[in-house]
Amino acid sequence: MTIGIGLLGLGTVGAGVAGILANPEGRHPLVGELALKRVAVRDLSRPRPVELAPELLTTDPEAVVDDPAVDIVVEVMGGLEPARSLILRAINAGKPVVTANKAVIARYGEEINAAAAAKGVYVLIEAAVGGGIPIIEPLKQSLGGNRIQRVSGIINGTTNYILSRMADEGAAYADVLADAQRLGYAEADPAADVQGGDAADKIAILAGLAYGGRVERAAIPTEGIDRLDSRDVAYAAQLGYGVKLLAVAQHLGADAVASGEAPHQLLDVRVHPTLVPKDHPLAGVHGVNNAILVEGDPVGRVMFYGPGAGAGPTSSAVVADILNIAGIRQVSGSQAQAPLDPLLAASSWRQCRLVDSSLTTHRNYVRLRTTDEAGVIGKIGSCFGQAGVSIQSIVQFERSAEAAEGRAEIVVITHDVQEAQFRAALGAIEALEEVQAVAACLRTL
Ligand code: NAP
Ligand code: HSE
């Protein structure tokens, strides 16, 4: 039984998917049953890395969705619109959807899932997070028996590639970003990668699955690597840390509510550059690789690792979703309106709320620019002490340029402290006459 595939997009990911479908030998036999029927692109004249019959291509994506020969719609065009409307159009036509579009799912996942549930069709999103790493299905199915306490990790390949090459080769940020774009890792607008938005989309999706309720994407505190100073990467290395863009979703408990009301699950969800101790498993994740740590009861800690972006890994995940749907069609028959498998279909079963970030607790790295004179470190230490902030280490870095001008760079690493307390200490430090600037402030694992 041939299953017709409609591709919306033939860029990095779309061409990867078309390549797998065109060459089924040695893969699961179901791949041989998938036939590409229609493909939407923006520019018909653009050269493509895969050879396709010209009549398959169209610049009208609705024609792909509406084509009666298309049984499964694969959205790999990116952007919010028309991607969202095309996904909804496919669902309304009773066609299952596979998408790699985390931006759409993080913002419109609830609307899309409700439409899919009403129509009894699957919308599968394995490629939206972690590139080739299976993480969506494990969270929905394999780890379903757990209470998840924390999901954290490196979930943007572009920024990990940039940070790795900056740390290993001292490569310039702009050059490495251009390489990431050339290799097909970066988003169409790479600001989404370097400003942390792509990782925030992905952690919103992971947290929604792990904690069973929608996470408000716009409420996630997000900081990227675009303002990271290479001297902090160098100082961190001297102190025994690597710098990684981490996304974290931590379960903090549930709020108290009046009887009869369902409590909200309280979550600390955030994205920011983070100092990771060199002996931590995430510190060894280099290049375009991603890694996601899931901590649950009773499983303990499991880590998912692999290539997080690029044509091959991402199309592997897209085709896995297509095969899931194809397998179900084979069992239930194309016409049968079988009920959705509740573990494969996305579902919300409780409500989640992000806590006020000033109440969350973290370790911090602070770099201060000060005058180089006796007693400065003591005054800084007192400000932290008076605010109840415990210091793990305080180090003065000697740089000849600063020393020649009578200035110093002092780096402090704190123990765990509530964000509000830490900010109060920083306010007092900034007010010291000897402190010229709080030059950098990063989180530490
Ligand atoms: P891409 O290389 O920019 O490809 C986008 C494709 O969509 C192009 O073929 C483009 O046509 C087509 N397209 C865009 N807007 C269209 C429109 N309005 N009508 C018709 N065709 C349109 O993007 P990509 O890297 O493959 O990413 C696709 C999606 O996968 C995005 O949601 C992205 O976030 C996600 N994703 C990407 C990766 C990765 O490593 N690249 C990994 C995971 C997820 P033209 O070719 O004619 O311009
Ligand atoms: N731009 C994304 C990244 C693609 O670099 O991780 C994979 O989602």
Question: Ligand 1 pocket, 78 CB below 6 A?
Answer: yes
CATH classification for the domain delimited by 3-131+311-337, as one of 3.40.50.2000, 3.30.465.10, 3.40.50.1820, 3.40.50.720: 3.40.50.720
Taking each helix axis from N to C end, the angle separating 419-430 and 376-386, rounded to the nearest 10 degrees, works out to 140
Mean pLDDT, range 333-345, rounded to an integer = 80
pLDDT attached to residue 406:
84
| Structure confidence by residue, pLDDT tens digits, 122-136 | 999 999 999 999 999
pLDDT on residue 333: 75
Is the Cβ atom of 308 under 6 angstroms away from ligand 1? no
334 pLDDT more than 80:
no
Whether 400 has a pLDDT exceeding 80, the answer reads no
Give the pLDDT band (50/70/90) at residue 362.
Answer: very high
Taking residues 303-307, report their average pLDDT.
98
Could you read off the pLDDT of 223-241 as tens digits, one per residue?
A: 999 999 989 999 999 999 9
Specify whether the CB–CB gap between 225 and 273 falls below 8 A.
Answer: yes
| Rg of the chain taking only CA atoms, in angstroms | 24
Q: Ligand 2 pocket: which of 125, 163, 177, 187 to mutate (most atoms <8 Å of CB)?
A: 187
Q: Does residue 171 carry a pLDDT above 90?
A: no
**pLDDT score of 399:** 72
CATH topology of domain 359-444: Alpha-Beta Plaits (3.30.70)
Determine if ligand 1 sits within 6 Å of the CB of residue 80: no
Percent of the chain at pLDDT exceeding 90 = 89
Using DSSP, state whether 287 is helix, strand or coil: coil
Cis ω for the linkage preceding 24 (within 30 of 0)? no
Fold of 136-307: Dihydrodipicolinate Reductase; domain 2 (3.30.360)
Residue 336's pLDDT band, with cuts at 50, 70 and 90, is low
Q: Average pLDDT of 312-337? A: 89
Query: What confidence score (pLDDT) does residue 1 get?
Result: 83
What separation in Å is there between the alpha carbon of 138 and the centre of ligand 2?
20
Ligand number nearest CA of 105 is 1
61 CB near ligand 1 (under 6 Å): yes
| Prediction pTM value | 0.97
79 CA to centre of ligand 1 in angstroms: 8
Q: Answer yes or no: is pLDDT of 110 > 70.
A: yes
Coarse DSSP helix, strand, coil percentages of the chain, rounded to the nearest 5 percent: 40, 25, 35
The answer to whether residue 335 scores a pLDDT higher than 60 is no
Note the pLDDT of residue 310: 97
**% of the chain exceeding 70 in pLDDT:** 99
Place of tokens 């998912």: 304
Q: Which residues are catalytic, by number? A: 202
Q: Same CATH topology for 136-307 and 359-444?
A: no
How many Cα atoms occupy the beta-carbon half-sphere of 275 within 13 Å?
26
Query: What are the structural domain ranges in the chain?
Result: 3-131+311-337, 136-307, 359-444
Phi, psi of 54 (to 5 degrees): -55, -30
What is the CA(116)–ligand 1 centre distance, in A? 23
